[in-house]
Structure 1
Amino acid sequence: MDRQHVAALLNFCATVDSRVRRSMATQEQAAATIRSWAEALAHVPAVADTVDWDASRAARRYYEQAHGDRSAQFRPIEPADLLAAWAPYRAELMNRHTDPLPTADPDDVVAWRAELLGTRHAVAHGQQPPSEHRALTAGGPHPDVEARLRAIGSCIPAAARAELARYRPTRAAREAAVAAGQPDPLGVRCDWCQAPAGQPCRSRRTRPDGSVRSNAHRARPHPSRVDLAAARLATAV
């Protein structure tokens, strides 16, 4: 906040707290108060739409909360109270922020770092919205990437997929079945053990009292699940 913002905020606080008005009874007192508040709140925005922040509402909440706190209701608002109120909003912004790639030359370490820190500074002080990961990945892949995927058929090359098959046999078996035109049992929900689509079936063993003793993964899906996947495939064809 600059001095103009601070002056407007103090004027608002004076309407609900006469002590603030009395502390700025003279022009010199008002100027000194505005100057000191502006220095303390230089990194706190007056308004930040990205997190629904408004300094005047924060000041109002301070007095609403102080009404039930005997240790605070006799103390007028101070810059520290607004700094404390802004802190969780600032943390929320930074938690949502994903550093975008600077446009500066990576070999120019000084310029690259300055741009990176400048973006973080602007986000932390509500000057610009955070650059979220979802926003960075929205809109699909680059046209060059799409063309390459169409050429090779998958984002994982065939040689790499073959090497990975021994480490993920279940997925490899599913991919082989689909490639051969056979049904993928794990592509549907199992009505027998209630395993969701994409998850292997489970073998539940119960005790005499009915409680579950074990719930281990099955190497093969339940027959009813295989039949359901075959029926779905036949319907799709």
Structure 2
Amino acid sequence: MAKPLLIFSHIPKTGGTTMRRIVDRVVPKQYQFECDQRMRDLKRLMLLPPDKKSNIRLIYGHCLFGVHQLIRRPYTYITMLRHPVDLIISYYHYIRNTHTHRWFHKVKSMSFEEFIHIKSPAQLVHPVNNMQTQYISGMKGTNTPSLAIAKKNIHNHYLFVGTTELYAESIFLLNQKLGWPLYAYTKMNVNKNKSTTPITKNLINIIKQKNAIDCALYAYCKTNLETQIEKLSLSSKNKMQDFVDFHR
């Protein structure tokens, strides 16, 4: 029986670029399809001839849960999460340091406090309001996506959800689940020009309040991940620890 289509839903600033380099070693480019949550990408996938669709082994990109509906094959999702506070701080600096980013000219003159209070255009998935739950629930463009739907999707449709906090452990477990060889990796797309301006406790509390759903989702997935690690055999735990130590 053919393996299900693998869909890597890359949530921005969660170590996805590094993950892509790992995946590229295993899945040849000709069997991959890049699909961000843009109408032209979704339409291009939808209109692919059946023979080309059947050749795809991996769909990757900034795509929300639901992209599988355009290809109608057995499928499974993988993704990575990041603590909402860390994600939003990272995304702010990333936009300000990336001149080609579509929000660069809007955000470059904003303070961090201004950034976390802005309202996103309806057509964009903005990081300041529960973005990670938007991705996993498939509920784009709402500040209050359903945590229950996100958890249900994880239970029914996600092979694996890792976290950046336990990145090396996540890569180890994912490769084990997929039967992939375990390669060393180099962190990619890391912010190098972060401001040293302190983020106050008040701003952190605002982020947590605006992302209460994401905070709950992250805690849920981190607990699941820690449970999986605890259930590993002693031999696997030792191999994982060697892998983690190597990447410190």
TM-score (norm 2): 0.19
More helix by share: 1
**Higher alpha-carbon Rg:** 1
Between the two structures, name the one with larger relative contact order (CA 8 Å, sep ≥ 6). Answer: 2
